[in-house]
């Protein structure tokens, strides 16, 4: 297979950095990361590959068309992996404008920059070019039965400003294929977890609150069900889709690991009893820190992915069970205190490795 030049938007984020690390460590392809470096972008998540000659970085907002045109002209990518997005549901409820700007306007701007770059390519490069849009299962809304699964043909029914903005971006990507012929692929994934996850999300929040002796907030009664996908499994899937997937197709990527939120919290607490037995002062059991809080508006009850298509057609399936993945995740946070403390105190954002004041 010919070596590829891959442009990854949002490559300093949680999933994006896992994709970049995978490409540099497991392939011979080169990667240029384009990232605005919002609060969720952290170049320290790429420190392990930052000195590799096949890696490069540009601090660029995907809404900045002139900057994107410059990057395309300079880097000449064979593949776009579009992961740049605002992704936190609670933040979208409090401030939806940023989600519309980045997820909708930003995707439109990137599509147009990609189209302008792609159209004059020679026939072979034009045919082999790919625009891979990475999305979420939240565009489908929620499932009310206990056995139903999201498939690639499930109708869209987003519930939050976040999922509505991602649904909008999915539609734009498919329209650019239908109208302009831009060779696009869409993937929709279930809830990711693993190393380098920003601490506002459920799993890292529970781990770090527990070791600090702080309350472990659980929405409602914690009965919401999610399908948990280990981020490194997801990174492998995304690379396989962009290199082997069929233009115009959608692939759902799931972990085959449905758990209620309260079950996830219990699993973390039980692992910490084993892996971090020296508890904070005043804490007898980690489970005692669980605190039920008012549910958020429009909270979907159940997500579950049917990942049969990507298994049948591309041969991908997750390597991690929830039990193995959550153990790896808890251990990683316990062993990488420097990384998460710099996120918590904001110092990771203040330095930006010399890119800003």
Task: Walk along the chain (357 residues) and give the pLDDT tens digit of each residue.
Answer: 578 999 999 999 999 999 999 999 999 999 999 999 998 899 999 999 999 999 999 999 999 999 999 999 999 999 999 999 998 788 899 999 999 999 999 999 999 999 999 999 999 999 999 999 999 999 999 887 777 899 999 999 999 999 999 999 999 999 999 999 999 999 999 999 999 999 888 999 999 999 999 999 999 999 999 999 999 999 999 999 999 999 999 999 999 899 999 999 999 999 999 999 999 999 999 999 999 999 888 788 899 999 999 999 999 999 999 999 999 999 999 999 999 999 998 888 754 443 332
Write down the domain spans for the chain: 5-197+229-256+301-322
108 carries an active-site annotation: no
Is residue 285 within 8 A of residue 208, CB to CB? The reply is no
Q: Tell me what pLDDT residue 353 has.
A: 40
Q: HSE of 224 in the Cβ direction (CA atoms, 13 Å)?
A: 20
pLDDT at 357: 28
User: What tokens appear for 117 in the block?
Assistant: 């770059």
What are the two backbone dihedrals, phi and then psi, of residue 327, each rounded to the nearest 5 degrees? -65, -45
Pick the catalytic residue from 137, 142, 232, 258.
Answer: 137
Could you confirm whether 320 is annotated as catalytic?
A: no
pLDDT for residue 351: 45
End-to-end CA distance of the chain: 42
**Which of 145, 155, 147 minimizes the C-alpha distance to 188?**
155
Is 137 tagged catalytic? Answer: yes
- The structure tokens listed for 184 are 């696009």
Computed on alpha carbons and rounded to an integer, the radius of gyration of the chain in Å comes to 20
* pLDDT digit string, tens, across residues 110-169: 999 999 999 999 999 999 999 999 999 999 998 877 778 999 999 999 999 999 999 999
Q: Residues 340, 199: contact at Cβ < 8 Å? A: yes
Neighbouring C-beta atoms of residue 147, cutoff 10 Å: 6
pLDDT at 200: 83
> Could you tell me the two tokens for 204?
């890292």
CA distance 136 to 186: 10
Torsion of CA 141, 143, 148, 150, to 10 degrees: 20
Active-site residue, from 55, 117, 140, 162: 162
Residue tagged active-site, from 138, 170, 258, 300: 138
Topology (CATH) of 5-197+229-256+301-322: Rossmann fold (3.40.50)
Which residues are bridge partners to 150 per DSSP? 305
Is residue 105 within 8 A of residue 159, CB to CB? The reply is: no
Q: Which residue has the tokens 């990488």?
A: 336
Task: Kindly state the tokens that stand for 211.
Answer: 């070791």
d(CA 298, CA 93): 9
Angle between helices 106-118 and 65-75 (to 10 degrees): 40
Q: What is the 3-state secondary structure (H, E, C) of the chain?
A: CCCCEEEEECCCCHHHHHHHHHHHHHCCCEEEEEECCCCCCCHHHHCCCCCCCCEEEEECCCCCHHHHHHHHHHHCCCEEEECCCCCCHHHHHHCCHHHHHHHHHHHHHHHHHHHHHHCCCCHHHHHHCEEEEEEEHHHHCCCCCCCCCECCCCCCCCCCHHHHHHHHHHHHHHHHHHHHCCCEEEEEECEEECCCCCCCCHHHHHHHHHHCCCCEEEECCCCCEEEEEEHHHHHHHHHHHHHHCCCCCEEEECCCCEEEHHHHHHHHHHHHHHHCCCCCCCCCCHHHHEEEECCCCCCCCECCECCHHHHHHHCCCCCCCHHHHHHHHHHHHHHCHHHHHHHHCCHHHHHHHHCCC
């Amino acid at each position: 297979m010919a070596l590829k030049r891959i442009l990854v938007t949002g490559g300093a984020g949680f999933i994006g950095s896992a994709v970049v690390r995978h490409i540099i460590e497991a392939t011979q392809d080169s990667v240029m990361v384009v990232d605005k470096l919002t609060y969720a972008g952290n170049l320290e998540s790429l420190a392990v590959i930052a000195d590799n000659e096949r890696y490069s970085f540009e601090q660029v907002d995907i809404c900045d068309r002139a900057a994107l045109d410059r990057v395309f002209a300079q880097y000449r990518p064979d593949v776009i992996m579009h992961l740049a997005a605002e992704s936190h549901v609670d933040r979208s409820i409090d401030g939806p404008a940023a989600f519309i700007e980045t997820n909708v306007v930003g995707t439109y701007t990137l599509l147009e920059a990609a189209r302008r770059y792609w159209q004059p390519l020679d026939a072979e490069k034009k045919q082999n070019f790919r625009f891979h849009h990475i999305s979420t299962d939240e565009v489908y809304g929620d499932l009310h039965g206990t056995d139903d699964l999201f498939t690639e043909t499930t109708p869209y029914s987003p519930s939050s400003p976040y999922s509505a903005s991602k649904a909008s971006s999915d539609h734009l990507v498919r329209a650019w294929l239908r109208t302009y012929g831009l060779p696009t692929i869409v993937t929709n994934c279930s809830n990711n977890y693993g190393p380098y996850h920003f601490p506002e999300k459920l799993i890292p929040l529970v781990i770090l609150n527990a070791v600090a002796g702080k309350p472990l907030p659980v929405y409602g009664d914690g009965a919401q069900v999610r399908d948990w996908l280990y981020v490194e499994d997801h990174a492998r899937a995304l690379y396989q889709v962009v290199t082997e997937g069929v233009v115009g197709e959608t692939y759902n990527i799931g972990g085959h690991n449905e758990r209620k939120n309260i079950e996830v919290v219990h699993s973390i607490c039980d692992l910490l009893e084993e892996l971090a037995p020296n508890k904070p002062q005043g804490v007898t059991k980690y489970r005692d820190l669980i605190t039920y809080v008012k549910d958020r508006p429009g909270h979907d009850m159940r997500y579950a992915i049917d990942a049969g298509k990507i298994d049948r057609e591309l041969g991908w399936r997750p390597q991690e069970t929830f039990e193995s993945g959550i153990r790896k995740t808890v251990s990683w946070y316990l062993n990488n205190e420097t990384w998460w403390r710099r996120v918590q105190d904001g110092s990771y954002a203040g330095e930006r490795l010399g890119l800003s004041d």
